[in-house]
Every structure is written in C-alpha cells, then in structure tokens.
A and B are shown apart, each in its own frame.
Chain A
Amino acid sequence: MPREIVLGNGKTTICLDNRMRIRDIFFPNVGLENHLSGHEFKVGVWSDQKFDWVGENWEIVMKYLPDTLIGKYLAKSRDLEIGLEVNDAVHHFYNLFLRKVAITNTSDKRRDVRIFFTQDFHIYGQDAGDTVMYEPVLKALIHYKRQRYFLLGGTTEENAGIYQFATGIKESFGWEGTWKDAEDGVLEGNLIAQGSVDSTVSFKLELEPQSTKNVYYWIASGTSLSEVKELDAKVKHLGVEQMLLETANYWSAWINKGQANLSVLPREITRMFKTSLLIMRTHVDHDGAIIASCDSDVLHFNRDTYGYLWPRDGAITAMAFDKAGFREVSRSFFQFCNRVITEEGFFHHKYSPDGSVGSSWHALVDSQGRPQLPIQVDETALVLLALWKHFQINRDLEFIGEVYPKLVIKASEFLLNYRDEETGLPKPSFDLWEEKRGVFTSSAAAVCAALGAASRFAKVFYDRQRQETLNLAARSMKQAMLTHLYDQKMGRFIKAITADGARDYTVDSSLSFLWSCEVFNARDEVVERTMSAIMDRLWVKTQMGGVARYENDNYHRVSKDVPGNPWFICTLWLARWQIARAHSLEELKQGQELLSWVVSHALKSGVLAEQIDPYKGSPLSASPLIWSHAEFVIAVTEYLDKYQKLATLKSQGD
C-alpha cells in the first residue's frame, strides 16, 4: 500500500497509508531502522456499544497543510456518526510525533465517545525482546529494547490523560494483540508485557450533539529513558497545539526561502513543486544520505526495501535541491559521498544511511566466471556531474576545495581508467535500471558529462594537465558514442552494447541522458530522432498515458498490451526535453502539459510513486519515490528558466 503522507525531521521519519495508519517509524536515521517492520498503528472509535477502526468503512481524505510537513486528514463514519479532523507532524527539531484529533459527534444526542490508538512496535525491525510498560508518574506507556525508547503520551483538551491502556503479547501463543481488546470499548490495564508485545491506549470524551472536542497524542523517540522523559516533559509544557504551530511555521519558512519565481505556473503545479521539495526533505538523513523511498511495503516483493541511498537517485535529488535554492541540503549529500567513496574512486551499488555498503544483487563474476566490477558506472558519474551543477549555482569554492582531492580527483581518475582502450567508451557495468550488464548509452552519456565536469573543476583549481586530459577524454567519449552507439540506419542511438558484444536496439527512455547530461543539444538531429522513437514506442496508449521505461518492461508488469507501466521519471524526461527544445512560449506549453499530467496522476496528498497502473492509474512499486519528485522539481525549474528566457526574447522582439 502506498504511503499517503511522510513526515520527518531527518532523524524521526513517519509514514502513513491511506487509512490513517502509521506504517513506518524510522529512528534515529532516515530509512535505516524501521521499528514497525511492515506492521501498523491504527486509530479506532467506540460509541454507543459500536466500534470501528478508521479504514474501509470511513470516508477519508489525507493531504498536507499547504507549504508544510503537517498532515491534515478528514475522516467520517456515517455508521458511528463521528467525524475526525487530524493534524499530524514530526516536530522539526525534537524527535516527537505530534497528533491532534478533533472529534465531532455528528449525531443529535449526547454521547460517550472513546478513541483508541494502537502501537505495534517491532523495535530494531524484530518482534522479539521488546518490553512495554505503564509509567504511572508520567501516565504514559513506554516501549523499549536496548538503546531505543518510545514513549506514548496524550491528553484531552480538558487535561484528562490516557483513559485506559492495555499492554500484551501479540503474534504468538494465539494472542492477536491488544488491539483486539479495544473492540469492546474497554482496555484491561495490564501493566507490563515482554517478548513480542504491543499496546493500545484510549481517551474518553463526553460530546454534546453536533459538538467537537480535541484529543492530543504523541510519540517521543529516544536512545534512553531519560531522553524520552525529557521530550514528554517538553510536550506537556508547551502543548501539542503550540508545537504543531512551530512546526508548520518552520516548514513554511523553509519552503518559501527558495528563490524560484513560480508565478507563471498554474497553482496546482506550484503546489506540487513545494510538496515535492518537502517530501524530498523528509528523505534526507541528518548525516547527508538521501533515501530512495521510506515505503517499506516493497518488502513483500523481494524482502528488501528502497531504504538506501543510491548515489544516482541522491545525485539527481541533490541537483533538484540546488536548482530550487536549497544548497545546504545538497552540500550534506556531497559530504556524505566524500566520506563513502571507495579508495579506487567509484561508488558501490547503494549505501545505508550510516555509510555502510548496502545489499546488492550485482555479482563479482559474470556468468562465464570472469571477474567483474559490480557497479553501475553512471552512479559515480552523476555524483560528479551533480557536484559541478552545485558549484555552478552556488560558487562555494571553499566547500568544493574540501571535497576536490577525494570526490573529484579520485572519481574522475577512476572514470578515466574505466574506459575501453579500443572504443573509448566506458567499460561494461550494470545499467541504471539495475538489470543488465553492458555498455549503455545512458551510462556513457553520464560518464562523458562527468569527465567534462571534472575538467572544468580542474580549470577552476588551475590543475592544467588534469584539465587537458579530462577534456580530451570527454571529447573522445562523445565521438566514441557517435561511432559505436549511434545507428546510422535507424537514425537513432541504441540502448547498449551487451556484455557479449551484441547491439541492443530496445527503445529505452534513459536515452534521455544524451541531452539531460548536456552531451548533445536537445535540438541535435541525433537526439530528435532518438526522442521521437521514445515518444512513438514508449508512450502508453491507454487513457492514462505517460512514458514507459523501455519496450517490454516486465517490472511490476500489468499487461502485455502496453510497452510497460508509465513511470513518472520517464514522463518527466519527455517534459524536460520538450522544455529544453522549446524555441517559443507556444512550444513550451507541451512541457507544461506533461507537468500537469504528473500532477493529475499523483496521490491527493501530492505523493508520486515510481510507476502507475496503465489502466487504473493507481500507484505501483515504491511510493513515494524521491527520484520522481526530484525530476518534477528539476523540470519545473527548467521550465521557469526557459520561460524567463523566451519571455525576455519575446518582449525584445516586440
């Protein structure tokens, strides 16, 4: 199930699904330790001897408050005659999840209403060895294991604390969990449980007909008991209302500090632009890693998640942050990269946010038993290219000076050496889709651009010999791409030369790297013909539309009647190309239409998945996917730059 809302502060990250259930809690790093491990925290309501969990019988709308990382949800149950208005946030500074629930009795009689919150922790991602206990002085529940503590507290607007609670065993010995205990409206008050445990708390309200009262609930996360007690004291002193306002204003100030002049775009696109940046921010760890997705439901697909930093995704997201004016975020990413790059000068497949090498499916030998470097060479190249883009925008020479000796020199020397002497192309590596090994046009474009970027860095530092060597290598690689990867007969670039030397003619949207990495001009005939093939062969001809990754894409395939499922990033590459090649404001509209396509296929909250169902439009695979949001931000900034340029030209012409 996709994540409708993601909240976070770089240390605590919380994701909710479209039934208002908390589905992921990461602490203290974004994407590393998931203390729910695919389980859920639910909300339930009891009144007049009837009980229901907020879910399929409820009308639910979940969005963000504009310009903030505050969730705003409306949920209504006709059966219970109850309405809920919920505001959720992770405090921008403290590791506190804050929730305000305004409960409305929509009936015409006075009622006793109880609201329930369940907590199904799997601390460190495992259900064994947890403890949950009632803390009578704080009137709170505390879940803990080793160095992870989670305190659950709450109050009503009349300062009545938790009404009842339950702690108990779950998922073993026939016990389902304390949530089952809630369904009769009463919790038994067991004081402590250990092993595989969960808990439930309730709050009691007397509600007049057609009246509303508030309940406040919080989860403090810490590495010790004293830390969570301190946070509990803080929220009790300041109040949830005040801390929600602080958080709303912090994010509103953050998002509006960007320099982009959005006024020429329709409101739905500007709102999506800001929401994208905020969602991207929730996936940036405090140590600089940019996580691909915090949606842990993909666990069910291959027993692993998207909770890693892929240097490619990170580099593209860093470019988006830079283009939108958030250089401090991209800078922490480059510092992370500077720490983890190998001595040899390449990046591994992916990394955990603590800097350790992530899980991988790329083998150290090929099917013939020959040794191979298990990397995607474009990942190293794109970090270098993103760093150059960062410098072009920010001109922060002192910062670049810090990372130049390692990140720039080592990476560029690796890329220089990782070339085939005969062809001048990069040696074989895995492609950006992480599926095949060979010499890919997209990877070659990224490497060619990175060599050029490194050459320009060398010029900045008056490193003349290096500058000349790198510049020559970049120019030779561009020529090699035309010689070996461009097919004269077809009049377009091919996807790859495979590991066994065959030419792969599959039309692949990643050929967009040719112009997006600025190796070729968007209007160059070789690009025009290649992009025409993408539009012709990869546009999904259903009511949904959008661009598929490549012909016969089987990943999460829904139907063989379409080339593949529409992907947001691939559709946005087409948008960016339309924008890049526009010579008039009229031509620029084609790009804007594709931006609107993206907005219309996002979740109501603004979340963009990796791909969508080609018939239903429902999200598929990880959701949100930060790369999707980053491409949207880049496309919008490129649109704004182009609009400004074309409008100026037009006014001069007038």
Chain B
Amino acid sequence: MAMTKLCKADYVPVGEMKQCQTDDTEVLVVNLNHQFFCLEARCTHAGAPLSDGELNGKILNCPWHGSQFDVTNGRVLQGPAEQSLKVYPVKVLDGDIYIEL
C-alpha cells in the first residue's frame, strides 16, 4: 500500500494534536512523547472536529458530547460514541509524517 505524505513532524509539538488534510481525508495527528498516531479526525458519534477537543495523555475528549477515545488504538473509552476511531499506519521519514490510507 502506498504511503501518503501528510505533514512535517515538527508541525505537531509533543503532547498536542492537529488536523491535517490529504486530498480527500481529514486526519488527526497526535504527538505522544515523539510517537505519532494518526486517526480519523471526526468523532464517530456526531462528527465533531476532534482537533478542537482536549488531549489528556493518551485520552482524547470529544468537544461536542464528551466521548473519550484512546488515541493509541482509537478505542472508545466513554460514550456516547460507540464505534472506534479509524487508526492509520504511520511512518516518519526525514522529518515528514507519512500515512497509509
């Protein structure tokens, strides 16, 4: 599967998350202590923009209805969301983040 270049790694500081865009996909990039995780950028419950949520360690809180997700595997920790977030395979090469869509 081809990898798609997403953004520079230094675009997302440690402990933060940002939304990036490929041609037709919104991707949430999370930097957990220099380890990058890329997930679908909208909550599976009602479509909220997760980049506007709060990140506490590896727990991501949805800004609209408070669903919680584990950013390392996308799993729901607390509803109302029921479905996990899609997690994209990531590679960092020469300071750039690549994902497999």
Contact = CB atoms under 8 A, between A and B. Distances in A.
Is this pair of chains taken from one and the same complex? yes
Interface of A: 65-68, 70, 245, 248-249, 252, 256, 263, 271
B9 to A, nearest CB: 14
B46 A248 contact: yes
Given A66-B49, A66-B52, 7 more contacts: A67-B48, A67-B52, A68-B64, A248-B48, A249-B47, A252-B49, A263-B19
Interface string B10-38: 01000000111000000000000000000
Contacts of A249: 46-47
12 contacts: A65-B48, A65-B63, A65-B64, A66-B64, A67-B48, A67-B49, A67-B52, A70-B64, A245-B46, A249-B47, A263-B7, A263-B19
Contacts of B52: 66-67, 271
A66 B47 contact: no
Interface in B65-92: none
Contacts of A271: 52
A263 B63 CA distance: 19
Contacts, number: 30
Contacts of B63: 65-66
A431 to B, nearest CB: 41
Contacts of B19: 263
B48 A66 contact: yes
Nearest to A256: B49
A294 B57 CA distance: 42
A66 B46 CA distance: 13
A252 B19 CA distance: 14
Classify the secondary structure of B's interface with A. Answer: mixed
Nearest to A63: B63
Nearest to A70: B64
B41 to A, nearest CB: 10
B18 A263 contact: yes
Contacts of A256: 49
Nearest to B52: A66
Categorize the interface residue count of chain B.
10 to 19
Contacts of B48: 65-67, 248, 252
Contacts of B20: 263
Contacts of B49: 66-67, 252, 256
Nearest to A66: B52
A73 to B, nearest CB: 14
Residue among B20, B47, B64 facing the most chain A CB atoms (10 A cut-off)? B64
Contacts of A68: 64
B11 A248 contact: no
A249 B47 CA distance: 7
Interface string B35-63: 00000000000111100100000000001
B50 to A, nearest CB: 10
B10 to A, nearest CB: 12
B51 to A, nearest CB: 8
A66 B50 CA distance: 10
Contacts of A65: 48, 63-64
Nearest to A262: B19
A263 B11 contact: yes
Q: Nearest 7 pairs between A and B by C-beta?
A: A66-B52, A66-B63, A249-B47, A245-B46, A67-B49, A65-B64, A66-B49
A531 B60 CA distance: 46
A68 B52 CA distance: 12
Given A67-B52, A256-B49, A263-B11, A248 B64 contact: yes
Contacts of B11: 263
A256 B52 CA distance: 13
A70 B7 CA distance: 31
A244 B11 CA distance: 34
A254 to B, nearest CB: 12
Nearest to A249: B47
Given A65-B64, A271-B52, A252 B18 contact: no
Contacts of A263: 7, 11, 18-20
A78 B19 CA distance: 39
B18 A248 contact: no
A245 B18 CA distance: 24
A68 B48 CA distance: 9
A68 B19 CA distance: 17
A87 to B, nearest CB: 9
A256 B48 CA distance: 11
Contacts of B47: 248-249, 252
Nearest to B64: A65
A264 to B, nearest CB: 9
A62 to B, nearest CB: 15
A268 to B, nearest CB: 11
A65 B64 CA distance: 6
Residue among B7, B11, B19, B48 facing the most chain A CB atoms (10 A cut-off)? B48
Nearest to A67: B49
Nearest to A85: B66
Nearest to B49: A67
Contacts of A245: 46
Contacts of A248: 46-48, 64
